[in-house]
């Protein structure tokens, strides 16, 4: 017996209409918050960086930067009433250029751009379940690499667009194009350069996401079964071919994959130089990861046999949302380290209210002011993030045949 469509008690609206209205309401309220947070044009800015932070990102001592300022070399910092110096992210790039130009010849220490023979490095951040810290990891990694002097492209491949939102873009209101415009199979396909947008971080661009990305999951099986399925069979090359157009502009690409094992994720993986799998150290999450790996391995074997080349330089598991004082979590981390001693990152990303509180205003820990938090809480979180990202940067440099940064 057919049932009537679900309606409110008033009988006025069907369930789909209620959902659409509530989605639009949330979107409108988020846009109001964005206007309030980033006046006058709702565009994200970026804070100043302290002398200690600048020294860390440049890899020099604070006294070196002070000396440059006193000698009138490099950009003029902002100086507080108490004499504390701070620099913008753009000024950090100026300092890099100055130090690189006046450093020892033959050492590209301060401008770590790729040189001839060093391939574009593509990192895919993946997990089968939501809530594993995947987008948080991808966002902080991309921003960290940019602050360290690399030219970075972040690609949001998740239709939910969380990475996009973290960079101040609201896709349903800002009329942005996603990578779908580059991946689509029809004549309206656009080059990737048409969908790249700058961010509030110098050296960091982004390909935003939108709900349109989900169309790729429907288009690909149609292309695979069409009368001329050659394009569909090679779906796994579409991201790598798109990146060829802009590879001279970037050193590293960070892809935030959707939390599912679909065509988008597979296309990203076959374009990757490395894979980072986020793991929440709890039993149910590890059990899900086991199923994810079994499915992933089987599918990748199939597409390898179909002609896909996966040339991974490395893959690692990253423990996220880790609570060091939680006994069962510590046991789970030890369990994983015993099984995969060569694939586990040594550093873990700790669970922190600083990271979650920054996310409330759609910011990362690299964007918020330390003074907004209990200092010990902020310092613990930023130390953990930097340790993780430095370890990953070291793996990228090793893949290029360099010493760790």
pTM of the model: 0.88
* Distance in angstroms (rounded) separating the CA atoms of residues 194 and 201: 19
What is the sign, positive or negative, of the torsion defined by CA atoms of 66, 102, 400, 254? positive
CA-CA-CA-CA dihedral for 125, 129, 134, 136, to nearest 10: 160
Higher model confidence: residue 230 or residue 183?
A: 183
- Helix (H/G/I), strand (E/B), else coil: 337: helix
Q: Token pair of 312, please?
A: 């991974």
* 14: in domain: no
Give me the residue label for tokens 């029809």: 186
Is the same domain home to 139 and 96?
Answer: no
* 343: in domain: yes
* Distance in angstroms (rounded) separating the CA atoms of residues 67 and 77: 12
* 22: in domain: no
Is the same domain home to 214 and 313?
Answer: yes
* Distance in angstroms (rounded) separating the CA atoms of residues 302 and 300: 5
* 6: in domain: no
Tell which phi-psi region holds residue 69, choosing left (phi > 0), alpha (psi between -120 and 50) or beta.
Answer: alpha
pLDDT digits (tens, 9 = 90+) for 185-231: 988 899 999 999 999 999 999 999 999 999 999 999 888 887 565 56
Q: Token pair of 19, please?
A: 């959902």
Instruction: Note down the domain range covering 99.
Output: 46-76+85-111
Q: Which range has the worst mean pLDDT, 137-141, 191-195, 286-290?
A: 286-290
Is the same domain home to 89 and 215?
Answer: no
- Of the candidates 155, 127, 388, 363, the one whose C-alpha atom is nearest the C-alpha of residue 256 is 155
Tell which phi-psi region holds residue 11, choosing left (phi > 0), alpha (psi between -120 and 50) or beta.
Answer: left
Which distant-in-sequence residues (6+ apart) come within 8 Å of 52 by Cβ? 62
Average pLDDT over residues 235-249: 93
- Give Cα 258 to chain centroid, integer Å: 12
pLDDT of residue 318: 94
Task: Please check the confidence at residue 401 and state whether its pLDDT lies above 50.
Answer: yes
Is the same domain home to 314 and 221?
Answer: yes
Q: Are 65 and 54 in contact (CB under 8 A)?
A: yes
Is the same domain home to 199 and 246?
Answer: yes
Is the same domain home to 106 and 217?
Answer: no
- Of the candidates 139, 93, 137, the one whose C-alpha atom is nearest the C-alpha of residue 112 is 93
Is the same domain home to 101 and 187?
Answer: no
Is the same domain home to 102 and 155?
Answer: no
DSSP class per residue in 43-54: ------EEHHHH
Number of domains in the chain: 2
- Of the candidates 269, 247, 250, the one whose C-alpha atom is nearest the C-alpha of residue 258 is 269
Is the same domain home to 287 and 383?
Answer: yes
CA-CA-CA-CA dihedral for 143, 165, 349, 284, to nearest 10: -150
* 41: in domain: no
pLDDT of residue 6: 41
Q: Which range has the worst mean pLDDT, 271-280, 286-295, 319-328, 392-401?
A: 286-295
Q: Are 110 and 100 in contact (CB under 8 A)?
A: yes
Q: Are 310 and 271 in contact (CB under 8 A)?
A: no
Q: Are 163 and 150 in contact (CB under 8 A)?
A: no
Is the same domain home to 51 and 194?
Answer: no
Tell which phi-psi region holds residue 161, choosing left (phi > 0), alpha (psi between -120 and 50) or beta.
Answer: left
pLDDT of residue 240: 93
| Contacts within 8 Å (CB) and 24+ apart, 76-82 | 77/51, 78/48
Instruction: Name the pLDDT band for 43 (thresholds 50, 70, 90).
Output: low
Q: How far is CA 257 from CA 128, 166, 263, 269, in A?
A: 9, 15, 11, 9
pLDDT of residue 3: 47
Give me the residue label for tokens 């679909």: 262
Q: Are 236 and 266 in contact (CB under 8 A)?
A: yes
Is the same domain home to 57 and 167?
Answer: no
* 40: in domain: no
Is the same domain home to 159 and 304?
Answer: yes
* 16: in domain: no
* 130: in domain: yes
Q: Token pair of 75, please?
A: 């950009």
């Amino acid at each position: 017996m057919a049932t009537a469509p679900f309606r409110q008690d008033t009988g006025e609206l069907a369930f789909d209409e209620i959902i659409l209205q509530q989605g639009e309401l949330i979107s409108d309220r988020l846009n109001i918050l964005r206007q309030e947070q980033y006046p006058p044009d709702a565009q994200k800015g970026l804070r100043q960086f302290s002398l200690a932070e600048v020294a860390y990102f440049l890899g020099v001592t604070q006294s070196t930067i002070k000396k440059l300022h006193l000698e009138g070399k490099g950009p003029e910092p902002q100086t507080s009433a108490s004499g504390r110096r701070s620099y913008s992210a753009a000024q950090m790039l100026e300092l890099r250029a100055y130090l690189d130009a006046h450093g020892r010849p033959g050492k590209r220490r301060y401008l770590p751009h790729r040189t001839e023979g060093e391939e574009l490095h593509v990192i895919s951040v993946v997990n089968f379940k939501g809530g594993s810290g995947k987008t948080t990891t991808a966002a902080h990694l991309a921003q960290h690499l940019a602050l360290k002097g690399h030219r970075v492209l972040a690609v949001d491949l998740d239709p939910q667009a969380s990475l996009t939102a973290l960079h101040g873009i609201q896709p349903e209101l800002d009329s942005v194009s996603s990578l779908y415009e580059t991946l689509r199979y029809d004549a309206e396909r656009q080059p990737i350069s048409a969908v790249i947008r700058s961010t509030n971080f110098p050296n960091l661009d982004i390909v935003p996401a939108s709900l349109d990305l989900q169309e790729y999951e429907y288009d690909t099986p149609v292309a695979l079964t069409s009368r001329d399925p050659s394009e569909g069979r090679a779906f796994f090359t579409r991201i790598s071919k798109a990146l060829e157009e802009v590879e001279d502009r970037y050193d590293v690409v960070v892809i935030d994959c959707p939390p599912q094992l679909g065509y988008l994720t597979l296309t990203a993986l076959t374009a990757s130089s490395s894979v980072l799998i986020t793991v929440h150290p709890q039993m149910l999450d590890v059990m899900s990861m086991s199923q994810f790996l079994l499915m992933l391995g089987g599918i990748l074997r199939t597409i390898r046999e179909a002609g896909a080349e996966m040339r991974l330089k490395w893959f690692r598991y990253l423990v996220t949302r880790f609570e060091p004082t939680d006994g069962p979590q510590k046991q789970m981390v030890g369990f994983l380290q015993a099984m995969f001693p060569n694939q586990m990152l040594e550093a873990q990303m700790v669970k922190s209210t600083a990271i979650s509180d920054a996310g409330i205003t759609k910011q990362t820990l690299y964007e918020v002011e330390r003074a907004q938090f209990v200092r010990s809480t902020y310092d613990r979180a930023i130390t953990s993030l930097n340790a993780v990202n430095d370890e990953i940067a070291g793996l990228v440099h090793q893949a290029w045949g360099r010493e760790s940064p």
